[in-house]
Amino acid sequence: MRYAVDMSTSTLSRKSVPVDAEMSTFTRDIRTPGTPAREAVEALVGPLPDHLSEAQALSTLLNVARDKVQETANASGYAAYAATLNEEDRAAADHGRKRRHERARRRAEAGTE
């Protein structure tokens, strides 16, 4: 996933966020090219600017966290949905898959695919 670190757009708002010493150290590491923390973040988001500001580093971390939380929430939602399905729902889905597979097989045999 790629994140833009351009902080100059008018759609952004700045928030005052408390940052403890551990987060300050971590943010400094992300801002320093070649550190393990920087490399780990770049593996997730792609290359970061050489002169990354503290605000850009924090914004990038928030974006990564937001995406991870959304991913987890989506997975939970899908799991909850799957739990509500009954045998009839599963049988209908299975029948549809088999029917699509059979049509694709027939088209392949006929040479139309």
What's the one-letter identity of residue 24?
Answer: S
Q: Is 46 left (phi over 0), alpha (psi -120 to 50) or beta?
A: left
| Residue 64, helix vs strand vs coil | helix
Q: What is the value of pTM for the model shown?
A: 0.60
Give the pLDDT score at 111.
Answer: 82
pLDDT tens by residue, 52-108 = 999 999 999 999 999 999 999 988 888 888 788 888 888 888 899 999 999 999 999
| Angle, alpha carbons 20-29-47 (nearest 5°) | 125
Give the pLDDT score at 15.
Answer: 86
| Residue 113, helix vs strand vs coil | coil
Euclidean distance between CA atoms 23 and 35, whole angstroms: 15
pLDDT tens by residue, 4-53 = 555 555 677 888 889 999 999 999 999 999 999 999 999 999 999 999 99
